[in-house]
Amino acid sequence: MKSSLPQALGCLLVILILECSMASSLLWSQVSQDDPVEVLEPIEVTATRSPRFVQNIPNAVTRIEKGDIQTGQPTLTLDESLSILPGLFFQNPYNFAQDLRISIRGFGTRSPFGVRGIKILVDDIPQTLPDGISQLDTIDPGIIDHIEILRGPSASLYGNASGGVVSIMTESGPNTPFEIESKVVTGSFGLLKTQLKLGGRTSVSDYRVFGSRLELNGYREHNVTENLLFQTKINWKAKSGSDTQLTVQKFHSPRADDPGGLTAFQAAVNPRQAHPRNVLFDAGEEVDQEMLGWRWRKPVGAQQDLTFTAHLIHRDFSNRLPFVSGGQVEFERWAPGGALKYINNHSLLSRSNRWITGVEFLYQNDDRQRFDNNSGVRGVETLNQQETVDSLGVYVRDEMVLSDYWELVAGARYDRIHYRVDDAFFVDGDQSGDQTLNQGSGTLGALYHLAPKHRIYLNGSTVFETPTTTELINNPSGTGGFNPNLKAQISYSLELGLKGNPGVEYELALFYIRTRDEITPFELAAFPGRTFFRNSGTSERKGVEAWLRWRLHKNWKGAVSYTYSDFEFKEFIVGGINFDGNRIPGVPVHRVAGQLEYRHLQGWFGSLQAEHVGQFYVNNENTAENSAYTNVRLKLGMEKQWGPVRSSLFLGINNLLDENYNANTRINAAGGRYFEPAPPLNWFAGINLSWSPSFQ
């Protein structure tokens, strides 16, 4: 399954020609009808630590708006609105016990659950812990205002585990004194999601209250999910010019079953089945989490700003894995953190210059126990230890305008991360210990204005990724403490890009990433479903990402993306087996996505979204692969307003082509249990009602 870069570029060229031809023909048809063409407005993002227009950032950055995230969507997982983007690959939207898997340019592919290697922020509050793991189960798309995605290594900005950045901003209060909104979505396989939003705004403050409940039986056996989410967000401005944001969140998931991975034969014979061991051991999890976040911003001069954020996350977690010895896990987590950021906009040599500096502190304390899993019943204790991680990061970034045509960005960061485990289970001896990592990171980028609406850029950057506590304590030796053989991985990246917005927004990025000590997952037959990790020597990632988005008429807009990923192990030998030259599993070489949307002035709307994922390997040996597939989603709906009431009805069909494919793959799974089949053709429908006196 080897694909050459020339083939990829050829495929990309064809796509670009087709899209440009389509765009030109639609443009001509609209102009010939004397109907004005709508030009996409410049897009501003803050994922680079300060407000900047996308066109003036020497990185691949994209922003997705509320309408694309919520309108006509079931709002279950982030992939509903983000899978159209290049460079991102999503798996596992249907197994809530394992969480949605996100990879950006290959960062995150090793994750058996949660997100690895990618920095996740919500309302400027980091959801990524100091050890590098992020949980997405408390992020509900139904409350998201917009999402910014920064593709590529960003350690100079965010430190550990920032091979990419996903920055999410939830809704603030409406632009009305009061508004209340409810939404109900139902669908195949017992889907029922209800949500309620209310909010209001005064001259100095606004608030948003959100609650949702999800019930889902799931397509496969042993796949039931239930959860509740509550969030309150308050903003207010002081006479001094400062603004404060307070966020309170509660998440409760009493049940999330895990049907487990299947062999290729099992998936072909009966894709709805759960793995027998997962049923026998009642595999699944329960979660309770509370989060408190606070952000304070104040201008401290005509062109200077100071921002302080603080947060506290508390999480109670328990799960059951499909084996006896240590097959039940329980931990209580406390994770506070704080950050201070200073921005100074000034002139340097008669040119505008922006200087950003900051310091971040994160702390994580996990009180963890393991017990035997006797067919779903808790057995004797096999592990009891306290794991703490603290990280301190200091960064500086300068954004310089050198001339009318040239801009330069330079950044550096220093991180210190300390791990400690205190063993309280002495049957196998005292496994207490600690590790400390000191790491510097940097970036240098240049951007050139080819024309008023066209830019070309080049940047180089580094990123490091430490093992998470879960990866470190999953010791193949079977003892407690840390795995002494697992090290951090270090990556060096070079990216060349072209972007513009001459009526049609476009982006083309070519990148090269070399990684040392890549962390890769594997399983042992004695512990099916439990993932261990090791370093793989050296790997290389070469890729091409292309993105087109246009609005040629007030009723029509479209987007298309293409991703080429040539990711290989360069030096990797385990147990005498040489994997040099093998592809890194879990990432398709080719992925194409497109979307066409229609909205009529009378309220009718619809969209057709398609994603084609090429085949990819699921093990290091490259002897097992996941077949290529195409997933198509159709949405139709109608919005109307009657006085103070606004309503929306929508209907959608997932997997419109009724294709047999796998929604998730478990990399290097023992016994060939790589595959988690996706549902066949299925439907969802919903109604949205909102009321506000100001609608009249």
Alpha-carbon dihedral 263, 266, 272, 274, rounded to 10 degrees: -60
The three-state secondary structure class of 472 is helix
**Tell me, what DSSP letter sits at residue 59?**
S
268-280: b (≥16 Cβ within 10 Å) or e:
eeebebbbebbbe
The segments of the chain whose pLDDT lies below 50 read: 1-6, 8-38
Thinking of the domain 5-695, which architecture would CATH place it in? Answer: Beta Barrel (2.40)
**pLDDT for position 652:** 97
Q: Which amino acid is at 207?
A: Y
**pLDDT for position 612:** 98
Name the nearest CA neighbour of 255 among 218, 284, 220, 222: 284
Q: Which amino acid is at 450?
A: L
Per residue in 107-126, pLDDT (tens digit) is 988 777 788 899 999 999 99
Pairing of strands 243-257, 44-45: unpaired
Residue 466: how many CB atoms within 10 A of its CB? 26
The three-state secondary structure class of 674 is coil
Name the nearest CA neighbour of 545 among 11, 2, 1: 11
Give CA–CA dist 41/547, Å, rounded. 17
**Tell me, what DSSP letter sits at residue 19?**
H
Name the nearest CA neighbour of 329 among 387, 390, 275, 391: 387
Q: Is 13 left (phi over 0), alpha (psi -120 to 50) or beta?
A: alpha
In three-state form (DSSP H/G/I as H, E/B as E, the rest C), the secondary structure along 325-366 is CCCEEEEEEEEEEEEEEEEEEEEECCEEEEEEEEEEEEEEEE
- Host H or E run for residue 264: helix 264-269
Give CA–CA dist 4/11, Å, rounded. 11
Helix/strand/coil percent split, the chain, to 5: 10, 55, 35
Give CA–CA dist 200/209, Å, rounded. 9
**pLDDT for position 12:** 46
Q: Which residues pair with 602 in a beta bridge?
A: none
* CA distance to 262, 369, 383, per residue, from 426 (Å): 37, 13, 9
Contact indicator for 300, 306 with CB cutoff of 8 Å: yes
Per residue in 448-462, pLDDT (tens digit) is 999 999 999 999 999
**pLDDT for position 24:** 39
Radius of gyration of the chain (CA): 25
Q: Which amino acid is at 537?
A: G
**pLDDT for position 695:** 67
Spatial CB neighbours of 563, under 8 Å, sequence gap ≥ 6? 86, 87, 89, 543, 544, 545, 546, 590, 591, 592
Give CA–CA dist 431/368, Å, rounded. 14
Domain boundaries of the chain, sorted by first residue: 5-695
Name the nearest CA neighbour of 358 among 44, 126, 61, 169: 126
Name the nearest CA neighbour of 65 among 499, 638, 553, 557: 557
**pLDDT for position 33:** 42
CA angle at residue 46 from 45 to 48, to 5 degrees?
Answer: 110
Structure-token match 């939404």, residue found: 183
* CA distance to 99, 223, 528, per residue, from 261 (Å): 14, 12, 10
Residue 470: how many CB atoms within 10 A of its CB? 20
**pLDDT for position 36:** 45
